[in-house]
């Protein structure tokens, strides 16, 4: 069942979303050569606590991993797609890209967002990967309108990414969000005909999150049971926003 939110609930989600935006903006500004992914973790943990919120990821149980996640952030570097774990040993260097994904719970409602940030000067191909991924999210957001269907969102990401010579990850998807971090519906970044294609209605909130590989779409999970990487070692980018379907069109809750 897809839960539709009232105007009052959307306002609460907006506050959660803006906190996530503020945290990610600060972390993005911190990214530079010599910074560790754990430095980002410490800063995020402090900001979320200072805001009186609870980190959404820390303590989250994932059956596939068989344990609870231990961190506030997912920090995925270069060929890591999602769920990379912060570490003081993971020092960022020039030419790296790092995807930073985080969420919070504030006043009972969740916000969730992700950005991918480059360290210093990037190759032209990597800059294009980030731009195409970011653009695919913006195009998908415009499809989050009452009367459209879920596949309008999913297909928009897929078409833009594939037409630009990149590939969408199939194992990991976006999701509904509200009083739970993950609600219905699942939101693949491609059209999966095996899934339902519900009509979008006012009050639905979608966490849309393209994960795009520079090479092939194939992914695998490392021995730590969390970190998903590209099988071919190519770079991967990830951007995410929470988007409410409203009578005035899409409302991105995770940015001003």
Q: Is the pLDDT of residue 45 over 90?
A: yes
Question: Residue 159 contacts by C-beta under 8 Å, 6 or more apart in sequence?
Answer: none
Residue range 128-136: mean pLDDT, rounded: 98
Nearest to 82 by CA among 207, 178, 199: 207
Strand partners, 243: 206, 252
| Confidence band, pLDDT 50/70/90 cuts, at residue 91 | very high
Distances (CA, A) of 251 to 148, 154, 209, 255: 15, 18, 15, 9
CB 136 within 8 A of CB 161: yes
pLDDT at residue 213 in the model: 98
Distances (CA, A) of 20 to 62, 89, 137, 157, 168: 22, 25, 17, 23, 25
Question: Residue 235 contacts by C-beta under 8 Å, 6 or more apart in sequence?
Answer: 78, 79, 97, 126, 129, 213, 214
pLDDT at residue 195 in the model: 86
pLDDT at residue 26 in the model: 98
pLDDT digits (tens, 9 = 90+) for 64-85: 999 999 999 999 999 999 999 9
Q: Is the pLDDT of residue 35 over 90?
A: yes
Map residue 66 onto helix, strand or coil.
Answer: coil
Cα–Cα distance between 256 and 253 in angstroms, integer? 8
As assigned by CATH, the class of the 7-252 domain is alpha beta
Percent of the chain with pLDDT over 90: 98
pLDDT at residue 118 in the model: 98
pLDDT at residue 163 in the model: 98
Residue range 187-199: mean pLDDT, rounded: 94
pLDDT at residue 214 in the model: 98
Residue range 187-211: mean pLDDT, rounded: 96
Distances (CA, A) of 5 to 38, 51, 112, 209: 35, 24, 16, 20
């Amino acid at each position: 069942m897809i839960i539709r939110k009232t105007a009052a609930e959307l306002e609460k989600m907006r506050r959660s979303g803006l906190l996530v935006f503020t945290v990610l903006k600060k972390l993005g500004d911190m990214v530079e050569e010599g910074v560790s992914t754990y430095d980002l973790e410490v800063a995020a943990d402090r900001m979320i606590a200072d805001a009186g919120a609870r980190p959404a990821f820390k303590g989250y149980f994932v059956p596939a991993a068989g344990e609870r996640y231990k961190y506030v952030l997912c920090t995925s570097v270069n060929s890591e797609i999602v769920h990379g774990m912060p570490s003081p040993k993971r020092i960022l260097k020039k030419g790296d890209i790092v995807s930073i994904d985080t969420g919070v719970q504030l006043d009972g409602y969740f916000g969730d967002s992700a950005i991918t940030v480059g360290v210093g000067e990037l190759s032209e191909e990597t800059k294009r990967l980030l731009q195409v991924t970011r653009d695919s999210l913006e195009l998908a957001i415009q499809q989050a309108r009452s009367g459209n269907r879920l596949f309008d969102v999913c297909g928009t990401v897929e078409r833009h990414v594939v037409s630009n010579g990149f590939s969408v990850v199939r194992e990991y998807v976006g999701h509904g969000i509200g009083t739970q971090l993950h609600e219905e519906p699942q939101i693949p970044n491609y059209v999966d005909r095996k899934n339902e294609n519900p009509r979008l209605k006012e009050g639905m909130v979608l966490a849309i999150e393209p994960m795009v590989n520079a090479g092939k779409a194939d992914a695998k999970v490392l021995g730590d049971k969390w970190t998903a990487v590209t099988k071919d070692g190519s770079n991967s980018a990830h951007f995410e926003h929470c988007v409410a379907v409203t009578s005035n069109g899409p409302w991105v809750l995770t940015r001003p």
